[in-house]
Structure 1
Amino acid sequence: MTTIIAFIFVFGLIVFFHELGHFLLAKRSGILVRDFSIGFGPKIFAYKKKETQYTIRLLPIGGYVRMAGEDGEELDLKPGYRVGLELSKDETVTKIIVNGKDQYVNAQPFEVSKADLEKELFIEGFEDYDESKKIRYQVARDAVVVDGKIETQVVPYDRTFGAKSLGKRAATIFAGPLFNFILAILIFTALAFIQGGVASTENTLGNVVKDSPAAEAGLHEGDKVLSISGTKTNSWAEIVGKVSENPDKKLMFKIERDGKTQEVKVTPEKQKVQGEAVGKIGVENPIKDSFGAKISYGFTNTWNWIHQIFDVLGKMITGGFSLDMLNGPVGIYTSTEQVVSYGFLTLLNWTAVLSINLGIVNLLPLPALDGGRLLFFLYELIRRKPVDPKKEGIIHFVGFALLMVLMILVTWNDIQRAFF
């Protein structure tokens, strides 16, 4: 049960931030957002505020933000339609009832002869279905069309996704992955404050363990290691690497202490780590606990993970692709089960890493992903004209279908690894 809750928490938080990025930039760009949904499948919770419906669905493995004009939606009132109209005090149409007119006793019977619910926003026709009473009404920008129990808000063309500038459309799509990186930065920063500090990468010694080779040699916490046996050391990683490579061998540490340099001989103790002999001198990683160090850790650690993930992607491309390199929901669930056993802070760290992964994967230039859509925008920028919407829709549909097939294969592979 704990793993299930943790899995929902991790996926829910990552998906929420991703979709929040799309949502906020769409709103800022003036795009009408019809739905903000976390999860797929049947609705568990639904709440409508103003023009957007917010929903939580049963399967916590994704989400979406449905923006006006994205899915080819069209409110079309053909000539001859008999509808009901509700009007404001200034006789502007606020509600068009297509089906279920008997539930709206104040609705004006109206037969449509012509209508534009997108650009000019008007409806023209005959009151009381009487052809001698032809009239034209202006339609409110936030009017709704009622079809039974379904109410759909009219969307002026200037509030659709396609009507916005290339820059605004690209920013709205890019914002999803960007917010995944922002989530990682926030989590890593929070962890730095919770843990009281962050590991330093500088070539300075941290706590020196009592009775260790370092302590016996006279090394102190805060000593800056300039070189080891003639090899310059500019980072903590270089110190660890040099010591690890030389178990039971005397090393000459050139250090700086209180503004003065001196040399200290140290012999790393041989220890077995995963069956391999390595050198240890008993010095811990230096810790930075300043406010600035904790803030910067969120950015630097996120960047380090981005770099590592791109390295892995590069090796996948150059070294040959295998399904074993990928994890689907089952694989992530299994990994989450292991992470949970190490505590909540480790789970938070895992969430940040997964969020970075999702951000990068979504930026890959593949159809149906955010990166694929950005690629179409790049084409539009170069050619100075957009791809035909129908052709783009077909490409995204085929890409989505292929991604679903890949997801099924990866999930099956995860199940085999987990249970067989």
Structure 2
Amino acid sequence: MEILNYMPLAAGAVWSVLGELQTILAVVFGLGMVIFFHELGHFAVAKWCNVHVERFSIGIGPIIWSHQRGETEYALSVLPLGGYVKMLGQDDMDPNQMTSSEIAENPRSYSSKTVPQRMAIISAGVLMNVATGFLFFAIGYWNGVLEPAPVVGGVRAGFPAWEAGLRAGDRVTAVNDEPIRSFVDLQEAILLSSGDLKINVDRGGKALPNPIVLTPVKASPGRSIGVIPAVTTEIGQIDDPVRIADAGMAIEKASEAFLPGDRIVGLQPQGESSDAAGEQIPEQPVRLIADLRRVLATYADREMVYLVERKSADGKPTVVRIRVPRQPVRKLGFWMAMGPIRAIQSNSPAAQAGLKVGDTIRAVDGLKPGEDIDPLSLPVYFGRKGGQTVTVMYSRATSGGTVEGQCELVPNADLPGWMESPDSSTSPLTIPSIGLGYQVQNYIAKILPGSEVEKLGGLSQLTKITKIELLHREPGTGKPDAWGNAETPVELPLAAGENATAEEAEPNWAWAFDQLQRAPGRKLVLHFEDGKTTGTRTLQELELEDDWFLWVRGFNPEIWENERVLLRAQSLPEALTLGLATTRKVAFSIYRSLRKMVGREVDMESLSGPVGIAKIAYKVAERGFVELLVFLGILSINLAILNFLPIPILDGGHMVFLLWEGITRRKPSITVINWAHAAGMVFLLSLLVFVMWIDFFVSGN
């Protein structure tokens, strides 16, 4: 009986291994085909020109398999980093053959052929890659290609997109009047652009009357506006359902477990309505995580019923109602000091009221942040004041000293409280309803009476928190939380990054506060300094706020399926047209990328070597054959362009020598050829080492 119980598990493991093996074979075959077609181009034209081809090899280095047919040896070599066609009179490992008069006397040698014939042989590999890339694209679009939709899933606070007013859920339709079909198009348009960008946006199904104009900033790997792609409310087919809910969060306490394949289609806030009539709040439809976030932030203080579309045993969808409790904020027993404003959105209530970057909010409706109200709760305060006038007192540094000011503003009633989490230790905390991002300092402004911190002692006003450690209370008994294995200690360092600007010199406490809310099963170790001494204090159990709740209820953010758009040609001519347009676009993008790398506008770390390419190919192949086909098309165009760069040993380097010979009517000297080949070999080997270093130590691919 025990053996039978384990049989389904064993069968599942076998099918999983077979599936992985199939994907690996598809990747190996696909990458091999790209190389094969390149070398086939050289081979076919060489034969057409009656050149003696000694060897046709896929891969380089020692030969692991070969077969002699006629005068040509067909081989597989150990290193799958390329391939080669070895012709009489042309050997990259022996450049002397190119200038040998004895070999040139053989009418079937490469060197005996005319310059146009040799140019045709050299360029044939590149042309074959362009042709096959075009065919890969055309076949892909004929079958239909799923690509990330050009929909904004999130906007990084303080980045140009946030400042310009782009929102999660916006669909980008054009950049600088060039149509945008996918998020990849959007990324390329931003990364490879120069100057300002004019972005056309659809919001809520309607086009905004005017394009949004913004200037990208320099980031890694290049220019950025601070947007991420959208994800849907559909849970992916993950292997372990335990990963769906983070330990200790509200989702774990749901009335019923969420399952892989579930799709959240709506939310029903529970409890009494906030309106005067006391009517029940209607169901809120959701499709993207951006929709989910907005509804949960608006009704964070309410129990929520999730309307979940789930496929039944017969494959038909049914709607399941799952009740999820509220997620109270864990309070630490102290408030931190208010910091300055770091970012303001254009045309926002904050901008219209005259607030500026660098100002510090001193009071809100008479409540002083750090004394009368927790600075971290300001997004919630303003969110609850939507449509009402709020009075803000602020201080501003001027050349003549610090001045005090006052303004009035009306928060946007359509934007709730805290729904944008800081994504780094230096990112500002935003107040969506007024379009403002601010910093919370990492030193204490107030110890709350009766709190655990007060009882422990050692911490006081102006004490600086330098680091937080999150430790599991009972090691060995925990399940995965927001950081995976709950037994693993988590450190939240409150220090600026290596590349932080002067404005980011101090970390934002809001980031650490947001992170620790996601692991309620852990105790906190506070590392502090007060100017004289350093020390630690451990908080075992954190109390819960009575009237402050998180929009985050504990879903693992990695479980969601990406929002995708199906690009499919309606006819063969349209497929060919799309294939040609994509070939042109990819080629132009590669050219601009190379140009910007030379100009140091794009980081060299964005390159991928053989390992990186294989990893990307594997991930693409997991999504399907058509997606792999399109990736191979991109790789083919890459190979064509890079191979035709004027670098000795590469096809482009050979073409330079042929151009020289055609113009001067004489071949380059053996000394020039030897030095050029040596330099080319050193360059290529150095480049290979560099990209391999990126693959293993830098890039997450």
Q: Which residue of 2 aligns with 1:26?
A: 46
Q: Quick check: 1:69–1:162 contact (8 Å CA) kept in 2?
A: yes
Q: 1:58 aligns with which of 60, 66, 78?
A: 78
Q: Which runs of 4+ in 1 moved over 4 A?
A: 72-75, 233-238, 240-243, 245-252, 269-275, 284-288
RMSD: 4.0
In the alignment of these two chains, the number of paired residues is: 290
Tell me, what secondary structure is at the counterpart of 2:61? strand
Please state how far the C-alpha of 1:69 moved relative to its aligned partner. Answer: 1.0
User: In 2, Cα distance between the equivalents of 1:320 and 1:26?
Assistant: 40
Please state how far the C-alpha of 1:323 moved relative to its aligned partner. Answer: 3.5
User: In 2, Cα distance between the equivalents of 1:191 and 1:285?
Assistant: 11
User: In 1, Cα distance between the equivalents of 2:686 and 2:178?
Assistant: 46
Counterpart mapping for 1:191-206 below 5 A: 191-195=140-144
Q: Quick check: 2:144–2:568 contact (8 Å CA) kept in 1?
A: no
Please state how far the C-alpha of 1:197 moved relative to its aligned partner. Answer: 12
Point out which structure has higher relative CO (alpha carbons under 8 A, 6+ apart).
2
Please state how far the C-alpha of 1:192 moved relative to its aligned partner. Answer: 2.8
Aligned-partner residue type, residue 122 of structure 2: I
The CA deviation string for residues 345-370 of structure 1, in whole angstroms up to 9 with x for no partner, is 11111111011111110111112211
TM-score normalized by the length of structure 2: 0.37
Aligned-partner residue type, residue 90 of structure 2: E
User: In 1, Cα distance between the equivalents of 2:108 and 2:207?
Assistant: 72
Give the percent of matched residue pairs that are identical in Structure 1 and Structure 2: 32
Q: Which residue of 2 aligns with 1:176?
A: 125
Q: Which residue of 2 aligns with 1:208?
A: none
Label 1:351 to 1:164 Cα distance change in 2 as closer, same or farther (>3 A).
same
Q: Does 1:391 align with 2:672?
A: yes
Please state how far the C-alpha of 1:383 moved relative to its aligned partner. Answer: 2.0
Please state how far the C-alpha of 1:178 moved relative to its aligned partner. Answer: 1.1
Gaps of 5+ in 2: 1-19, 148-172, 187-197, 210-286, 294-419, 421-431, 433-564
Q: 1:365 aligns with which of 646, 649, 657?
A: 646
Tell me, what secondary structure is at the counterpart of 1:35? strand
The CA deviation string for residues 88-131 of structure 1, in whole angstroms up to 9 with x for no partner, is xxxxxxxxxxxxxxxxxxxxxxxxxxxxx968xxxxxxxxxxxx
Q: Does 1:185 align with 2:123?
A: no
Tell me, what secondary structure is at the counterpart of 1:66? strand
Label 1:386 to 1:350 Cα distance change in 2 as closer, same or farther (>3 A).
same
User: In 2, Cα distance between the equivalents of 1:298 and 1:418?
Assistant: 30
Q: Which residue of 2 aligns with 1:14?
A: 34
Counterpart mapping for 1:274-293 below 5 A: 288-293=569-574
Q: 1:351 aligns with which of 597, 617, 632?
A: 632
Q: Quick check: 1:68–1:159 contact (8 Å CA) kept in 2?
A: yes
Q: Does 1:165 align with 2:114?
A: yes
Q: 2:662 aligns with which of 367, 378, 381?
A: 381
Aligned-partner residue type, residue 78 of structure 2: L
Counterpart mapping for 1:185-264 below 5 A: 185-195=134-144, 237=180, 244=201
Counterpart mapping for 1:122-137 below 5 A: none
Q: Quick check: 1:180–1:355 contact (8 Å CA) kept in 2?
A: yes
Tell me, what secondary structure is at the counterpart of 2:623? coil
Aligned-partner residue type, residue 631 of structure 2: W
Tell me, what secondary structure is at the counterpart of 2:62? strand
Please state how far the C-alpha of 1:390 moved relative to its aligned partner. Answer: 4.0
Label 1:321 to 1:398 Cα distance change in 2 as closer, same or farther (>3 A).
farther
TM-score normalized by the length of structure 1: 0.60
User: In 1, Cα distance between the equivalents of 2:631 and 2:687?
Assistant: 24
Please state how far the C-alpha of 1:295 moved relative to its aligned partner. Answer: 2.4
User: In 1, Cα distance between the equivalents of 2:45 and 2:696?
Assistant: 38
Gaps of 5+ in 1: 76-116, 120-154, 199-227, 253-268, 278-283
User: In 1, Cα distance between the equivalents of 2:55 and 2:84?
Assistant: 8
Label 1:378 to 1:74 Cα distance change in 2 as closer, same or farther (>3 A).
closer
Q: Which residue of 1 aligns with 2:436?
A: none
Please state how far the C-alpha of 1:249 moved relative to its aligned partner. Answer: 7.2
Aligned-partner residue type, residue 190 of structure 1: I
Label 1:418 to 1:164 Cα distance change in 2 as closer, same or farther (>3 A).
same
User: In 2, Cα distance between the equivalents of 1:310 and 1:74?
Assistant: 33
Aligned-partner residue type, residue 133 of structure 2: A
Q: Quick check: 1:15–1:38 contact (8 Å CA) kept in 2?
A: yes
Q: Quick check: 2:34–2:632 contact (8 Å CA) kept in 1?
A: yes
Q: Does 1:412 align with 2:432?
A: no
Please state how far the C-alpha of 1:194 moved relative to its aligned partner. Answer: 2.5
Aligned-partner residue type, residue 635 of structure 2: L
User: In 2, Cα distance between the equivalents of 1:243 and 1:333?
Assistant: 36
Q: Quick check: 1:197–1:294 contact (8 Å CA) kept in 2?
A: no
Aligned-partner residue type, residue 183 of structure 1: T
Q: Quick check: 2:115–2:658 contact (8 Å CA) kept in 1?
A: yes
Q: Quick check: 1:32–1:51 contact (8 Å CA) kept in 2?
A: yes
